[in-house]
């Protein structure tokens, strides 16, 4: 017998949570969040979850440490309320960039986060376009790693499929992602050869031909916007006709939105895996929703169906 689904979002007004709920045909469950004067968080679940399959949406974008504590406290509350299963839906995985020891005496914080989520009581994780696929192996619970790349590629095909286009990896690490888009669009790829950390903003040269083409830079995260901006400048200097940037996660810290709005990029295409407040939205920013994809992942888990089409 299928157990009842309960969908929670710690911030109940999040647009993505409401889109997921709409696609699933359910309402967000009632809960309250209280903050004490010293910053402590208290969660109250305002309906029964005993024996239910609970899905908890929380993305680690702004104030990542605060959001992490909210998530862990909510998982603990669900566990103590006798939920049958607790699936964390984390579109953007916080601390994902700290997934290996690059130098001596460094932590692997992405693994620590995985341990915290598992030990708190989560029984499954759904995430979108992890910074490093190896993070899947950090968990001892099942993890469903879905991708927004097909949605972004579909949008790129509509707008630029009939143009003389080249798909650009912003660095060597992004070649795999760029190749997936290039194969789907049947376009060539190019690679921006950047200097190593901490000088990665400097581009040594471009591997591949971009002159006279529409260049589409495919990334996973747009954080400060500097990489997208410097990519556009270098590609235009090399003769590209126009440059489009796209990414799954628009973190947009600090003045990143203004930097992108003032840049030479023709368009920036991102998803709503991270909520983008109105003050950070601008004319050339297009936001594609992954609400339907995440709803499909949740219903697939709920009904024990394969999620292969979403990978």
Q: What is the pLDDT of residues 13-54, one digit of tens each?
A: 578 999 999 999 999 999 988 889 998 999 999 999 999 999
Which of 88-92, 100-104, 210-214 shows the lowest mean pLDDT across its residues? Answer: 100-104
Does one domain contain both 93 and 110? yes
Residue 165 has pLDDT above 70, yes or no: yes
Residue 308 has pLDDT above 90, yes or no: no
Does one domain contain both 140 and 167? no
pLDDT at site 14: 79
Q: What is the pLDDT of residues 268-284, one digit of tens each?
A: 999 999 989 899 999 99
**Spacing of C-alpha 171 from chain mean position:** 19
Domain of 243, in residue numbers: 149-288
How many whole angstroms separate alpha carbon 143 and alpha carbon 124? 6
State the average pLDDT for the chain: 92
Q: What is the pLDDT of residues 229-282, one digit of tens each?
A: 999 999 999 999 999 999 999 999 999 999 999 999 999 999 999 989 899 999
Does one domain contain both 131 and 165? no
How many whole angstroms separate alpha carbon 171 and alpha carbon 168? 9
Does one domain contain both 82 and 109? yes
The structural domain count of the chain equals 2
Q: Give the model's confidence band at 71: pLDDT under 50 very low, under 70 low, under 90 confident, else very high.
A: very high
- Which long-range CB contacts under 8 A does 281-287 form with residues at least 24 apart? 281/257, 282/257, 284/260, 285/250, 285/257, 285/260, 285/261, 286/155, 287/250
Does one domain contain both 125 and 203? no
218 Cβ contact list (under 8 Å, min separation 6): 149, 152, 167, 168, 169, 170, 174, 177, 178, 181, 246, 247
Does one domain contain both 13 and 139? yes
pLDDT at site 60: 83
Burial profile 188-213: b = 16 or more Cβ within 10 angstroms, e = fewer:
ebbbbebeeeeeeeebeebebebeeb
Does one domain contain both 159 and 106? no
Does one domain contain both 258 and 277? yes
How many whole angstroms separate alpha carbon 301 and alpha carbon 65? 28
Tell me if the pTM is above 0.75. Answer: yes
Does one domain contain both 166 and 251? yes
DSSP character for 2?
P
């Amino acid at each position: 017998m299928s157990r009842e689904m309960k969908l929670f979002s710690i911030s109940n007004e999040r647009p993505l949570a409401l889109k997921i709920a709409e696609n699933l045909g359910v309402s967000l469950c009632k809960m309250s969040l209280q903050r004490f004067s010293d910053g402590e968080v208290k969660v109250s679940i305002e309906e029964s979850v005993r024996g239910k399959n609970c899905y908890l949406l929380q993305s680690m974008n702004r104030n990542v440490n605060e959001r992490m504590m909210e998530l862990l406290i909510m998982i603990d509350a669900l566990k103590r309320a006798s939920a049958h299963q607790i699936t964390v839906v984390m579109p953007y995985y916080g601390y994902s960039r700290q997934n290996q020891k690059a130098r001596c005496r460094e932590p692997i914080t992405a693994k620590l986060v995985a341990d915290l989520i598992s030990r708190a009581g989560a029984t499954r994780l759904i995430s979108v376009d992890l910074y490093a696929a190896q993070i899947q192996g950090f968990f001892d619970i099942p993890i469903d790693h879905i991708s927004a790349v097909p949605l972004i590629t579909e949008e790129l095909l509509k707008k630029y499929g009939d143009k003389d286009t080249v798909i650009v990896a912003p660095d060597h690490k992004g070649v795999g992602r760029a190749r997936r888009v290039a194969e789907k669009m049947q376009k060539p790829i190019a690679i921006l050869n950047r200097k190593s950390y901490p000088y990665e903003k400097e581009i040594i040269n471009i591997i591949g031909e971009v002159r006279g083409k529409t260049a589409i830079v495919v990334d996973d995260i747009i954080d400060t916007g500097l990489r997208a901006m410097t990519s556009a400048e270098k590609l235009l200097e090399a003769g590209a006709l126009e440059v489009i940037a796209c990414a799954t996660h628009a973190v947009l810290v600090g003045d990143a939105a203004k930097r992108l709005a003032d840049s030479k990029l023709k368009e920036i295409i991102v998803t709503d895996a991270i909520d983008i407040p109105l003050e950070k939205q601008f004319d050339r920013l297009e936001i594609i929703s992954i609400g339907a994809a995440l709803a499909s992942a949740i219903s697939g888990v709920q009904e024990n169906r394969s999620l292969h089409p979403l990978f």
